[in-house]
Amino acid sequence: MDELEKKAVIQEDKNLLDVHQAAELLDINEKELWGLVHRHKVLTHNIGGAFLRFKKSDIEELKNRWRIERDLFPKKERYFPHRSTVTQADRLERLIDFWHFNDFYIICSLLILALLYVIVSSQ
């Protein structure tokens, strides 16, 4: 190998990551990375047919794609997260709520009934 080929190999080695380095860059463990490899979610490169390597640019692109998906499309929670703090209202609370939201209509109805009584009883 001449000097130029050695520099090219050294430069390529700097751009290639092993499983441990790639998992560390993605903030996942090696087992999860192997799962991604088996599901063909990560591009891989074999060196000498035996050593699995990842291009640093591919791993950084995947990490950026995950960050964008996480920020733009957050997972919806199936249940209200504070479900255990919400209790069923008892009858008094429901009556208070009913009065709070319908007090105007109740008072107007009572006034109309009182006026009708006065009109009917005066004849």
> Across the strands, what pairs with 46?
52
How confident is the prediction for the chain on average, in pLDDT?
Answer: 81
What is the distance between the alpha carbons of residues 117 and 111, in angstroms, rounded to a whole number?
10
Supply the pTM of this predicted model.
Answer: 0.49
* Residue bearing the bigger pLDDT, 4 or 122: 122
Residue 24 lies in a domain: yes
Residue 61 lies in a domain: yes
Specify the number of domains making up the chain.
Answer: 2
**Do 68 and 98 belong together in one domain?**
no
**Residue range 32-60, pLDDT digits in tens:** 888 888 888 888 877 776 678 888 888 89
Q: What's the gap between Cα 25 and its chain centre?
A: 21
Q: What's the gap between Cα 119 and its chain centre?
A: 65
What is the distance between the alpha carbons of residues 4 and 72, in angstroms, rounded to a whole number?
45
**Do 65 and 8 belong together in one domain?**
yes
Residue 7 has pLDDT above 50, yes or no: no
**Do 22 and 48 belong together in one domain?**
yes
Residue 81 lies in a domain: no
Q: What residue numbers bound the domain in which 16 lies? A: 3-72
Residue 10 has pLDDT above 50, yes or no: no
